[in-house]
Amino acid sequence: SAVISQKPSRDICQRGTSLTIQCQVDSQVTMMFWYRQQPGQSLTLIATANQGSEATYESGFVIDKFPISRPNLTFSTLTVSNMSPEDSSIYLCSVEYRETRETQYFGPGTRLLVL
Amino acid sequence: AQSVTQLDSHVSVSEGTPVLLRCNYSSSYSPSLFWYVQHPNKGLQLLLKYTSAATLVKGINGFEAEFKKSETSFHLTKPSAHMSDAAEYFCVVRSYSSASKIIFGSGTRLSIRP
């Protein structure tokens, strides 16, 4: 099974600051995604992290607010920029492997509180 | 455009009785459909998926779902509920249209009464 880690697991931040979340996978994956899960809500896809090129953002999410990097096939970062209390959420990364196409494996999530 | 609707925000059943969690979808293209489960303070886990093969899909922990194109439904069922089934369940639709989209339903919280 997939081993996916996220750092930090949780953080409390001041408004106006930025936080970078890391997602590390134990082996090479084909797809990496970033989601947001607001309190008591479902998951919303933020973007697909593309290796070696710009991420593909979903409607309502922009690169200036959520810059994403994916320098290789096992690692990605999501930055939440210029944070406001509305950014308080759980942020999750998920991955797909070539062998189990379309099955997403989720990381444990990063719980963010913005004051 | 595509969407997914989970018809019940909360379902409560007695242990040992059948479970039915309802999901309807809308998609302009042939979609792939999934059910994920999220236990309290645990990560999301795939229960089962439909990707245009058999319409009746069997998953883990005794769950199954049937893809009904005419009804645009993908309801999740289990013959006999167990206390460990208490969790949040998400129906997910994925379509490879011009813009690949993964959309999660709003979720159904399943409670099991002893």
Quote the minimal CA–CA distance from A56 to chain B in Å.
9
pLDDT of residue B2: 82
The whole-number pLDDT of residue B100 equals 58
Q: Would the CA dihedral through A73, B50, B45, B106 be positive or negative?
A: positive
Residues of A in contact with B103 (CB under 8 A): 45
Cα–Cα distance list, A63 to A57, A81, A97, A113, B72 (Å): 7, 10, 25, 21, 34
Question: pLDDT category, B97, cuts 50, 70, 90?
Answer: low
Kindly list the residues from chain B whose CB atom is less than 8 angstroms away from the CB atom of residue A105: 46
Closest CA to A115 of A80, A75, A83: A83
The pLDDT value given to residue B95: 81
From A39-43, B17-21, B37-41, B100-104, the region with the lowest mean pLDDT: B100-104
Cβ(B62)–Cβ(B78) below 8 Å? yes
Distance (Å, rounded) from C-alpha B43 to C-alpha A109?
8
At residue B48, the pLDDT reads 95
Q: How far does the CA of residue A58 sit from the closest CA of chain B (Å)? A: 8
More confident residue, A72 or B101: A72
Q: What pLDDT score does B51 carry?
A: 83
pLDDT of B40 over the 90 cut: no
What does chain B come to in residues?
114
In chain B, which residues have their Cβ closer than 8 Å to the Cβ of A108?
Answer: 43
Which residues of chain A register pLDDT less than 70? 1
Point out the residue among B32, B43, B107 whose CB comes nearest to the CB of A108.
B43
Q: What are the Cα distances from residue B9, in Å, to A12, B44, B59, B90?
A: 30, 18, 22, 10
Residue B40 buriedness (CB in 10 A; 0-12 / 13-18 / 19+): exposed
Least confident of A98-107, B43-52, B92-101: B92-101
**Nearest-neighbour CA in chain A from B2: distance (Å):** 13
Instruction: Provide, as residue numbers in chain B, all residues whose Cβ is less than 8 Å from the Cβ of A41.
Output: 106
Distance CA A42, CA A25 (A): 24
